[in-house]
A and B are shown apart, each in its own frame.
Chain A
Amino acid sequence: MCLAVPGKVLESHDVGPNRIAKVGFGGVTRQVYLDFVPEAQVGDYVMVHVGFAISKLDEAEAKRTYELLAEMGAVLEEDEEQP
């Protein structure tokens, strides 16, 4: 259940009652409905499920927690290099 993929909002416009964006996924783009995440701006990352954005990624939060993980990874690699 719930295959959602992160993509970058490249452009957006309104079509009738809907907010539609062109979202890029590493080299392909697709139209995505922004009705659930209307505040998403060009440059933001959104999680996309069945053609709808369901969340705007919190980049600050992601960066904060990822820095800790990356540090763990670096420590492991150092340890593995030691005989």
Chain B
Amino acid sequence: MISPVCPAPIATRDTILLGHGSGGKLSAELLRDVFLPAFANPVLAKLEDQASLEIGGTRLAFTTDSFVVKPLFFRGGDIGSLAVHGTVNDLAVGGAIPRFLSAAFILEEGFPVAGLRRIAGSMAAAAARAGVTIVTGDTKVVERGSGDGVYINTAGIGLLREGVRLSAGLAQPGDAVILSGSIGDHGIAILSQREGLELETDIASDSAALNTLVDAMFAAAGAQAIRAMRDPTRGGVASTLNEIAEQSAVGIEIDERAIVIHSAVRGACELLGLDPLYVANEGKLVAIVARESAETIVDAMRRHPLGAGAGVIGRVAGDRPGMVTMRTLFGTSRIVDMLAGDQLPRIC
């Protein structure tokens, strides 16, 4: 059975629902109503994917992420490599060079050690490829039935690049919106391997560390050309663009014809009634860049293995602040809204 994940907006919020974890409007509410008031400080208030800090004159980025993916092992990766890539990517899109990771495990009693060995091996390989070191960690075990085999939290530290200041709040009218490749691969790969949907396909997760791609982008265009970058994970490209539009108080218009989707991902989305714009990606990035630098940056991305499908997909506009719209195949316009929670398969 597919586990339902919550898209639902509900009038009163006295219990945690699955939708609170999906990165959409409900998650934002939780941040706003519970965590921000409790932890009030100017760094957190910026709501970036990573915190930019200064300690003794050195500019650092610091981030954390938790991984609860099911199934644990999937085509294209596993929870371990995902945990490394996810945190490396949060640092990279924040303009930092990732250096060190922590890895904390919550294991369910009865989980096979062989599985854990496999996950640890996968994390080591991913860390080596990304040029980061896992330097500290922790292990806890919970009773059988209290977990899903393995949950992982990774936190990461990186050195902020000299002269680079990236923020979702810095997009300006006239900027170009770049997407590094095809969308929906990870989300559909996971969905297709869950019980209950029984979709047969070769789609593999695109899970990858993006820091070397980001290196190539900075090398091509310099520190000032890039305003913001994000990796469109849960909630997909649509949610990421909405966050940027909101934080920069700008409109974003994208062109449907510029979006790349693999045919198998399309097929799965058609069958389930899902919009690929909202499906998770784990090896892609969205960048807002100065218009005049866009072509140079895209060329540099296309020369990198993870950016082969890169292209400009839209632009930042001054009108309709906070709103993301899409020019459809027919030249008409539709809103690309922020979802409340996750998308659900539909029959209607």
Q: Does B34 contact A (CB under 8 A)?
A: no
In residues 1-49 of chain A, which contact B (Cβ within 8 Å)? 1-3, 5, 7, 22, 24-31, 48-49
Number of A-B contacts (CB under 8 A): 52
Residue of B with least CB distance to A25? B267
What class of interface size applies to chain B in its complex with A?
A: 20 to 34
Q: Does B346 contact A (CB under 8 A)?
A: yes
Q: Is the CB of A29 within 8 A of B201?
A: yes
Q: Is the CB of A29 within 8 A of B200?
A: yes
Q: Does B273 contact A (CB under 8 A)?
A: yes
Residue of B with least CB distance to A2? B348
Name the A residues within 8 Å of B30 (CB-CB). Answer: none
The B interface is mostly helix, strand or loop, or mixed, namely mixed
Name the B residues within 8 Å of A3 (CB-CB). Answer: 273, 346-348
> Once the chains are docked, how many angstroms separate the CA of A70 from the CA of B199?
33
In residues 189-216 of chain B, which contact A (Cβ within 8 Å)? 192, 198-203
Q: Does A69 contact B (CB under 8 A)?
A: no
Which of A1, A2, A26, A50 is the one whose CB lies under 8 Å from B270?
A26
Name the B residues within 8 Å of A50 (CB-CB). Answer: 347
> Once the chains are docked, how many angstroms separate the CA of A50 from the CA of B264?
19
Interface-central residue, A2, A25, A29, A50, by most chain B CB under 10 Å: A25
A-B contact pairs, 14 of them (CB 8 A): A1-B347, A1-B348, A5-B270, A22-B200, A26-B267, A27-B201, A27-B262, A27-B263, A27-B264, A28-B199, A28-B267, A30-B198, A30-B200, A48-B271
Closest A-B pairs by Cβ, 6 of them: A27-B264, A26-B267, A25-B267, A28-B201, A28-B267, A27-B263
